[in-house]
Amino acid sequence: MSRTEDSVRRAERERLLATRLPAGPASEVVRDEIVSSWRRCQVVGVVPEGAEVPYRPEFERPQRLRRAADPVIDQLAEQLDDGPISILVADSDAQIVDRRAGGRDLSKALDAAYVAPGFLYAEEFTGTNGIGSALEERRPFIVSGSEHFRENLQEFTCIGSPLVHPISGTVEGVLDVTCRIGNTHEAIKPLVLSAAREIEARMYADASRREQMLLEQFLRARRRATTAAVLSLNEDVVMANTAASALVDVSDQAMLWEWACQMLGAQDEVVGEVRLARDVLVQARASRVGERGSMAGVLVEMRPRSRVTTRATVLPRPSTSLSPSSDEPPLKGRSVASARLREDVDTALAAAGPLLVCGEPGAGKRFVAAHLHRRRHGDTPLTELDARASHDTSDQWIEQLRDALAAEQTVILRRIDQLAPTLADAMERLLEEPAARWLVATSRARGGDGAAARVLDHLPFSLTVPPLRYRTEDIADLAADLLVRHTTHRPLPRLQPGTLRTLRSLDWPGNVRELDGVLATAAGRSLGCDITHEHLPPEYRSTSNRTEHRSLQRAERDIVLEALAETHGNKLAAAERLGIARSTLYRKMRILGIDENHLPMAPTTSL
C-alpha cells in the first residue's frame, strides 16, 4: 500500500468515525465488511483511542483445538523460520492461547500492543481485528493498518480464519497470521487458509478416530452386559442401548459426562452412585476410552438401585378445608439439597397454619410458594402482595390482606421481613386468626431484631429454598423449564455438555434469577440450536480464573453442606457422618464461609 493510499484511508476513517455510522454501505474507500465491523464496535462502546485489553492470567487451551492445531502451527512456524510474521491461535472466546515465531522486533511490538497469550480480542473488547472479526463474521477476515478500529493496532496487518469443527459445526477458535504493514504479502492469505483447512481436516480425523474407539467399546459392553444400561459418550457423541435410552434423558447425558470426567481423574475406571432425572438412583461404572492424554470418551454402565423417594413421614393431616392436589408434579432437581426441599414441602402440606418460605434473593422463594398453593388448592385463585408496599398505604394494605384471607384464597405475601414497623402489631394479631392458614409468606431469613422479627415468630412452620450454588447439579433440570419462556423453537435447545460444565462451575450470586437471564441471552444467540459455549454471555464463558485451591475448597464446602443438608442442619450428626469432631466441623464452617444462620434446618412446627 502506497503512502498516498494510506493517507486517503486514514482521512476517510476519521470522517466515518466522527459520527455514528448509518446502516448499509457508507464509503467507496473503506470496505463494507470493515464499515460493518466499525458499526458494531460503536454500538457496544469500543473507543478508538483505547488501549486496554481484557486479560486472563490463567487459562486452559482447549484440548480438541490443541490436538488438531499444534502439529500444523509447529510445521508452519518451522517454515517461517523466525521471519517477520507471527502465528496466533485463539479459542472460541477470541482469547489468544498460543503465539509463535515473528522475530524479536515484531514480538516486542506485539507485546506492547498486548497481542499475546491470555488477552481477549473479541470485537466487543478490542474492536475490529483479525481474530475477533473473523469470529464475528464466521469467515476469513483481513484487517490492515487503519482498518483496525483501535489506533494502537494500526501498524499491523492481521489475517484470521475461523476454525470450524467439520462435524459439529461449532467454531473451535481462530488461526491468525499477523505482521507489520510493510511486510504484508499477497501469499499470506492462501497460507492462512491452507493451514486452517488442514487443522479442520485433523479435527475431522480426530473425531472419526475417537468415535470409532467409542463405538468399539460400546459394542463390546453391549454384548457383555445384556441387562445393564450402556452409554458411550464424549462432548459430541452419545451411543446408548435400549435400556439406557429408556433410563437416561438429555440432561442426564451431560451430567454423566461431567460426573465421569470428574471422578476418573488419573484412574481408568470408577464406580459410584449417580442420581438421574425422575429420581432414579443408579449404580454406575465409568471406564476411560482412549489414552489419558487424549481421552476419546467414557463408557458408562448402569443398573438402577431403586427409585428414590423424597417424601418424609407426613404427620396426620389436621381436619381443615385444605386438601392437597395430586396433579401438581414435585419440584425438580437431583441434588441432595433439592431432595431435602421436597421433603420439607411434603411436610409443610401437613401444617395447618401459615407457612414461611426463606431463601436468598433469586433462589426461587416465590416459585416454591406458588407450588405449595397448587399442591394444596390446584387452580383456585391466588393473591400476591408485597410487604414493601405496606410502607406507602399501611391501612389500605393491611385491609387488602385481611379481605383476601377472609375470602379463603391463598395469599403469597412476599418480603414479609420488610413489613412496615407500624403494622407489626396488626400483623401479629392477624396471624393468630384462623384465616391465616391461607397465608404463605416469603423472607430472606428468620432472626434479626425489630418488629419484623417478632412477626416472623408467628409463622411457626418454615422451610428454606437452598441457593443455586448448593445445587448446581440441578442446572440441567432447571434449564429445561427456564428455556420454555425464552424461545418458541421446538424442540427446545439443549445445553451441550461443555456448556453445562461451565454453568455448574459458577457461584451464581443471583441464584436462579441470574441463571434465567443467562439462558435468555444464550437462547437468543443460539437461534434454536443447542446452546454451546459461545452462546453464553462473555463473562460466563470462562472458569479459568478459578485456581485449583479454590476448586478443592469448593469441593470440600459442598461435602460439608451436603452432610448438613442430609442431617437437617444437625451439626453433631453431620460431624459423625463426615467422620470428624464437632469442633472440627465448626472450624471448617468458619474457614469455608458457611453461615450458621442460613443452613438448611429441619422445619419447625407447633403440631
pLDDT digits (tens, 9 = 90+) for 47-75: 888 888 888 877 777 788 888 999 999 98
Sorted by sequence, the CB contacts under 8 Å of residue 415 that are 6+ apart come out as 386, 387, 388, 442, 443, 444
C-beta neighbour count of 398 within 10 angstroms: 19
Residue 591: per-residue pLDDT:
62
Whether 183 contacts 145, CB under 8 Å: no
Is residue 41 located within the same domain as residue 129?
A: yes
pLDDT beyond 80 at 472? yes
User: What pLDDT shows up at residue 160?
Assistant: 95
Domain that holds residue 289: 225-307
Side chain identity, residue 437 = R
How high is the pLDDT of residue 67? 87
- Burial of 288 by CB count in 10 Å (0-12 exposed, 13-18 middle, 19+ buried)? buried
Pair 250, 477: CB distance under 8 Å:
no
Could you tell me what percent of the chain has a pLDDT over 90? Answer: 15
> What is the per-residue pLDDT for 142?
94
Q: What is the pLDDT of residue 195?
A: 93
**N- to C-terminal Cα distance for the chain?**
87
Q: CB–CB of 438/410 below 8 Å? A: yes
What pLDDT, on the 0 to 100 scale, is given for residue 206? 79
Phi, psi of 68 (to 5 degrees): -85, -35
pLDDT winner (highest mean) among 137-141, 315-319, 383-387, 592-596: 137-141
Choose the final residue of a domain: 466, 484, 519. Answer: 466
Indicate if 418 and 438 belong to the same structural domain: yes
Structural domain contains residue 584: yes
Task: Please report the pLDDT score of residue 71 as a whole number.
Answer: 93
The answer on 511 and 445 residing in a single domain is no
Instruction: Name the pLDDT band for 337 (thresholds 50, 70, 90).
Output: confident
Dump pLDDT digits (tens) for 347-375.
Answer: 888 877 888 888 888 899 999 988 888 88
Q: Do residues 482 and 413 both lie within one domain?
A: no
Q: What is the structure's pLDDT at 81?
A: 74
570 vs 109, higher pLDDT: 109
Q: Residue 549, CB half-sphere, CA atoms under 13 Å: how many? A: 1
**Is 543 a residue whose pLDDT tops 60?**
no
Which has more confidence, 437 or 590? 437
Asked if 401 and 430 count as a contact pair (C-beta separation under 8 A), the reply is yes
3-state helix, strand, coil in the chain (%, to 5): 50, 15, 35
Lowest mean pLDDT segment, chosen from 201-205, 214-218, 487-491, 521-525: 487-491
What is the strand order of the sheet 355-358 is part of?
Answer: 382-386, 410-414, 439-443, 355-358, 461-464
* Residue scoring higher pLDDT (34 or 408): 34
Q: Is residue 213 part of a domain?
A: no
Distances 288 to 134, 140, 255, 268, 297 between C-alpha atoms, Å: 36, 37, 16, 5, 6
Say yes or no to pLDDT of 2 above 70: no
Alpha-carbon span 530 to 559, nearest angstrom: 32
Query: 29 lies in a domain?
Result: yes
Could you tell me which residue, 307 or 430, shows the higher pLDDT? Answer: 430
Distance, in Å, from the CA atom of 391 to the CA atom of 419, rounded to the nearest integer, reads 7
- Give residue 344's pLDDT: 86
Asked if residue 457 belongs to a domain, the reply is: yes
Grid cell at residue 127: 474492536
Residue 313 pLDDT > 60, yes or no? no
List the grid coordinates of 398: 393491611
Is the model's pLDDT at 133 over the cut of 90? yes
Q: What pLDDT is stored for residue 96 in this prediction?
A: 93
**Residue 568 falls within a domain, yes or no?**
yes
- Residue 70, class by beta-carbon neighbours within 10 Å (0-12 exposed, 13-18 middle, 19+ buried)? middle
* pLDDT, average across residues 295-316: 62
Q: What's 536's domain CATH number?
A: 1.10.8.60
Residue 312 in this model has a pLDDT that exceeds 60? no
Give the SS3 label for residue 102.
coil
Domain at 75, CATH number: 3.30.450.40
Q: Is residue 209 part of a domain?
A: no
Separation in Å, CA 552 to CA 61, 149, 424: 21, 42, 46
| Residue 5 pLDDT level (bands cut at 50, 70, 90) | low
pLDDT class of 26 with cuts at 50, 70, 90: low
Residue 320 burial (CB count, 10 A): 11
User: For 277-285, what is the mean pLDDT?
Assistant: 81
Window from 72-81, 137-146, 230-239, 573-582 with minimum mean pLDDT: 573-582
Burial class from Cβ neighbours inside 10 Å (0-12, 13-18, 19+) for residue 29 reads: middle
The number of folded domains in the chain is 5
The β-bridge partners of 391 are none
pLDDT at 604: 39
> Residue 319 carries which DSSP code?
S
- pLDDT for the residue numbered 603: 40
Q: Are residues 194 and 140 in the same domain?
A: yes
Share of the chain above pLDDT 70, in %: 86
13 and 154: one domain? yes
* Residue range 25-52: mean pLDDT, rounded: 85
Task: Let me know whether 238 and 195 are in one domain.
Answer: no
State pLDDT tens for residues 548-597. Answer: 344 455 556 667 777 777 777 788 888 887 777 777 777 777 666 665 55
335 grid coordinates = 441434588
DSSP states along 82-125: T-SEEEEEEETTSBEEEEE--HHHHHHHHHHTT-STTBB--HHH
Which H or E run contains 304?
strand 295-307
Tell me the CATH number at 575: 1.10.10
Instruction: Select the more confidently predicted residue: 466 or 225.
Output: 466
Mean of the per-residue pLDDT values for the chain?
80
Average pLDDT over residues 164-183: 87
In a domain, 515, yes or no: yes
What is the model's pLDDT at position 305? 74
Smallest CA-to-CA distance from 561 within 581, 589, 583 is with 589
Rounded CA separation 501/47 (Å):
34
Per-residue confidence (pLDDT) for residue 327, from 0 to 100: 63
Residue 343 pLDDT > 80, yes or no?
Answer: yes
Q: Which of 216-225, 429-438, 595-604 is most confident?
A: 216-225
Which of these three, 450, 466, 482, is where a domain ends?
Answer: 466
Q: Which helix (H) or strand (E) holds 410?
A: strand 410-414
Cα–Cα distance for residue pair 595/203, rounded to 1 Å: 48
Q: Is the pLDDT confidence value at 219 over 80?
A: yes
d(CA 567, CA 314): 18
Q: What would the grid cell of residue 535 be?
A: 452462546
Rounded to whole angstroms, the Cα distance separating 258 from 235 reads 9
The 8-class DSSP code of residue 48 comes to: T
At which of 437, 466, 495 does a domain end?
Answer: 466
Q: Is residue 166 scored above 90 in pLDDT?
A: no
* 270 lies in the same domain as 192: no
52 phi/psi in degrees, rounded to 5 = -75, 145
- Angle formed at CA 329 by CA 324 and CA 330, multiple of 5 degrees: 90
- Residues 479, 438, single domain; the answer is no
Q: Per mean pLDDT, which range of 206-210, 339-343, 408-412 is the poorest?
A: 206-210
For residue 102, the model assigns a pLDDT of: 77
What is the reported pTM? 0.54
* Domain of residue 400, CATH code: 3.40.50.300
Reduced 3-state DSSP string for 554-593: HHHHHHHHHHHHHCCCCHHHHHHHHCCCHHHHHHHHHHCC
Same domain assignment for residues 190 and 238: no
Question: Which residue is it, cell 418454615?
Answer: 462
Q: What is the 3-state secondary structure (H, E, C) of 494-517?
A: CECHHHHHHHHCCCCCCHHHHHHH
Residue 320, pLDDT above cutoff 70: no
Task: Return the amino acid letter for 398.
Answer: I
User: Can you point out the beta strands (E) in 215-347?
Assistant: 229-233, 238-240, 269-276, 280-290, 295-307
Q: Where residue 250 sits, what CATH number does that domain have? A: 3.30.450.20
**179, 255: one domain:** no
State whether 256 and 377 are in the same domain. no
pLDDT of residue 238: 84
Whether 215 is in a domain gets the answer: no
Count of CB atoms within 10 A of residue 238's CB?
A: 19
pLDDT at 128: 93
Tell me what pLDDT residue 593 has. 60
